[in-house]
Amino acid sequence: MNGHEHDRWSEDVAAYVLGALEPGQVAELERHAEGCEACRNELRWLQPAVAAIAEAAPRREPPPQLRERLLAEVRAGARAAGVEAEPEGGLAAARHRFGTWLRGGGPGTRWRPAAAALAVVVVLVAGFVGYEVGNDGGGGGGATWTGAHGAVTAEVVSSGGGAELNLAHVEALPPDRVLEAWVQREGEVEPVKALFVPDRDGNASTTIADMHGVEIVMVTREPAGGTMKPTGEPIVQVPIQS
């Protein structure tokens, strides 16, 4: 490490800690700092000043419903994390029950997967609409499918082996309710351990870890903590084209 290089980067340490360095220079400075103890010391020295600036924002009280929403989602997530420890037999039994429920054994809407061979498909079953709006075509990006029911719209964007599920125009939920996502594979529906809540604008999103073999993604409203079996009709469904 020579002094000239340190002097050059030392000028930018303040901008770095304030988040004001040009995007392309951030990684360069970090690489330099790895081998420059003087710069590391300067960074450590200035960090508390930045923390003080963050604290200098005029104090405002967050609305109580923000805390309620956060804790509802967190408690739902905690319950979902606990579900992972359930013995395999429990999930297999649940899959069977959901299949029965979807075939008409419960209060849900009857529907079937869309034909996989179509590049663009519109499925209209019992008021639900789903269509594929794009795929990677070998270009490296993820495929996207959408669905809608009433005002609620849903988008499933594949990413690696999983997908992001994004909803819009979802009505606000009472504190004791959450959204729960489900997937159908080979005609059987199973929970994906994805519990979430909409934000103030009615947007909600979650992640589906494994999209292998998924034919349909759907979302229901469930009691906080989620369920092993849907208790109501889906608020939206998204047919997935392989």
Partner 1 sequence: MAVKREKAERLADEELMPLIGAKDPEAFAVLYDRHGGAAYSLAYRIVGEAGAAEDVTQEAFISLWRSGARYDRTRGSVRSWMLSIVRNRAIDALRAGAGKAPKLDFDDEAVLEQRPAPERTDEQALQRETAGELRGALGGLPGEQAKVIELAYYGGFSQSEIARMLGVPLGTVKGRMRLGLEKIRGELAEGLA
Chain positions contacting partner 1, by CB under 8 A: 11-15, 17-23, 45-63, 66-67, 69-71, 73-75, 77-78, 81, 199-201
Minimum gap (Å) between residue 235 Cβ and partner 1: 20
Give the shortest CB-19-to-partner 1 separation in angstroms: 7
Exposure string of 15-35, with b = 16+ CB inside 10 Å and e = fewer, is ebbeeebeeeeeeebeebbee
Q: Shortest distance, CB of residue 5 to partner 1, whole angstroms?
A: 16
We find the least distance from the C-beta atom of residue 104 to partner 1, in angstroms, to be 36
**What's the closest the beta carbon of residue 211 comes to partner 1, in angstroms?**
19
Q: How many CB atoms lie within 10 A of CB 64?
A: 8
Nearer to partner 1, 88 or 201 (CB): 201
* Minimum CB distance to partner 1 smaller for 203 or for 242: 203
If the CB atoms of residues 12 and 215 are measured against partner 1, the closer one turns out to be: 12
Q: In angstroms, what is the minimal distance from the CB of 224 to partner 1?
A: 11
Select 75 or 185, whichever has its Cβ closest to partner 1. Answer: 75
* Of 62 and 89, CB closest to partner 1: 62
Query: Which residue number, 14 or 121, has a Cβ lying nearer to partner 1?
Result: 14
